[in-house]
Amino acid sequence: MIFRTPFYYNNFRCIADKCKDNCCIGWEIDIDEKTADRYKAITGNFGKRLKDNINYGDQPSFILGENERCPFLNNCNLCDIITELGENSLCQICSDHPRYYEWYGNIKEGGLGMCCEEAARIILSSPLPFSFDETVIPDESYSSCDEELYNLVFNLRERIISILNNENYPLADAFSDTLSLAAAYQECADNNLPEPENIPVMQAVAADIKEILIFLLTLETMDEKWHPMLKNAVENADDLISNQQKFFEKNPKIAEYMRNIAIYYICRYLLKGIFDGEFYSAVALAVTSTIVITFLWELKWLESGLSEDDCIEIAKNYSKEIEYSEENTDAMLNEAYENPAMAAESLTAILRNFM
């Protein structure tokens, strides 16, 4: 079977105690059955500690401590399971994180989730052009997929990535053509039409980014600082829009970061659309997420200046809010069809206003 990953995939190493955030705080960590059985068999003091801190219900999980800390995260923010039993003793979720996987027939795709600080740094700072690596791995069990639809959406993804990779393609045009192409491919899949050769011209209709920010305020939140930041962006939206040009001029790396973030979302979500036939929403999610993150970068820049670390932190926080929660990710994907501000024509107008 083929294992396909972004070219930067193998660069990831957890920065452990140097991480400002920590993925072992603030969320429930389920333990797979095989690892739970292995932990049960550990004897001695550490075996007792494992038993006392694992909830062996229908779905075994760690019993979180104060401030929702994993009970095995020590005061130096290092994992005691690794120090006591070795890295190979981690449960599936902990050893995978922040990597994600998806299977399409005999192809397995993997990537790094941007909700991790180090992964966000790698994603943002990867040099363009983006490409995939492929290796052959032993077969894993997989379910079949609709090959015709897979090929169609795969071609769309290749075209989008080549647009976003091309730094001579003006940023607003690159994003708007990406949306336009996705809408055309979706129409083609829905109506059994031939694959579009040219990129249709997208007509912009008046739209307001505030509508997207207000929608984000309705989603469940992970961090108490998230909603105040979004509210601040809504209140200052006009100011942010009028300063946009200056923001891009003073922060020349932003354009490359934006392309990298959009490519990240396209890689992670677009092909998944073949499972229910709805893939335009993944492109709307990619463009909307990139716009919102950029807006929040600008807010930080206007308030107190913007460093590379700030860009990484804001992108990571956005990803955590939207991608740590399956409900939030699904709500964003649904919103692409429900919220007029996330229609291709509206996002095009927001982009034209924006860059």
Residues that bind ligand SF4 (CB under 6 A): 14-16, 19, 21-23, 97-98, 116-118
Among candidates 40, 6, 23, which has minimal Cα distance to 95? 23
Smallest separation, CB 4 to ligand SF4 (Å): 22
Contacts within 8 Å (CB) and 24+ apart, 165-172 = 165/128, 165/129, 165/130, 165/259, 165/263, 166/129, 167/128, 167/255, 167/256, 167/259, 170/355, 171/255, 171/258, 171/259, 171/355, 172/351, 172/352, 172/354, 172/355
d(CA 185, CA 188): 5
Q: How far is the CB of 63 from ligand SF4 (least distance, A)?
A: 20
Tokens of 13: 């190493």
CB 93, min distance to ligand SF4, A: 11
Cα separation values, 315 from 45, 122, 168, 227, Å: 41, 12, 24, 15
Q: Beta 132-136 vs 2-6: how paired, if at all?
A: antiparallel
Question: Which of 23, 181 has the CB closer to ligand SF4?
Answer: 23
Closest alpha carbon to 122 in 15, 255, 16, 8:
8
Residue closer to ligand SF4 by CB (options 71, 273) is: 71
User: What minimum distance in Å lies between the beta carbon of 200 and ligand SF4?
Assistant: 40
Nearer to ligand SF4 by C-beta: 22 or 353? Answer: 22
Q: 33 is written with which tokens?
A: 């059955």
Please spell the DSSP secondary structure of 30-59, one letter per residue.
Answer: B--HHHHHHHHT--HHHHHHHHHTEE-SSS
Task: Tell me how far, at minimum, the Cβ of 188 lies from ligand SF4, in Å.
Answer: 39
Between 100 and 275, CB nearer to ligand SF4: 100
Residues 282, 184: contact at Cβ < 8 Å?
no
Q: Say if CB 347 and CB 179 are below 8 A apart.
A: yes
C-beta of 33: minimal distance to ligand SF4 in Å?
A: 23
CB of 5 to ligand SF4, least distance (A): 17
- Looking at the Cβ atoms of 120 and 355, the one nearer to ligand SF4 is 120
Distance from first CA to last CA of the chain, Å, rounded? 42
Q: What does the CA dihedral 179, 148, 265, 338 come to, rounded to 10 degrees?
A: 60
Q: Which is nearer to ligand SF4, 97 or 268 (CB)?
A: 97
Shortest Cβ 19–ligand SF4 spacing (Å): 3
Provide the minimum distance between the beta carbon of 307 and ligand SF4 in the complex, in angstroms, as a whole number. Answer: 18
Question: Which C-beta is closer to ligand SF4: that of 204 or that of 222?
Answer: 222
Residue closer to ligand SF4 (CB basis): 118 or 298: 118
**Nearer of residues 14 and 214 to ligand SF4, judged by Cβ:** 14
Q: What's the CA dihedral at 181, 297, 310, 116 to 10 degrees?
A: -40
d(CA 150, CA 171): 28
DSSP string, 285-311: HHHHHHHHHHHHHHHHHHHH---HHHH
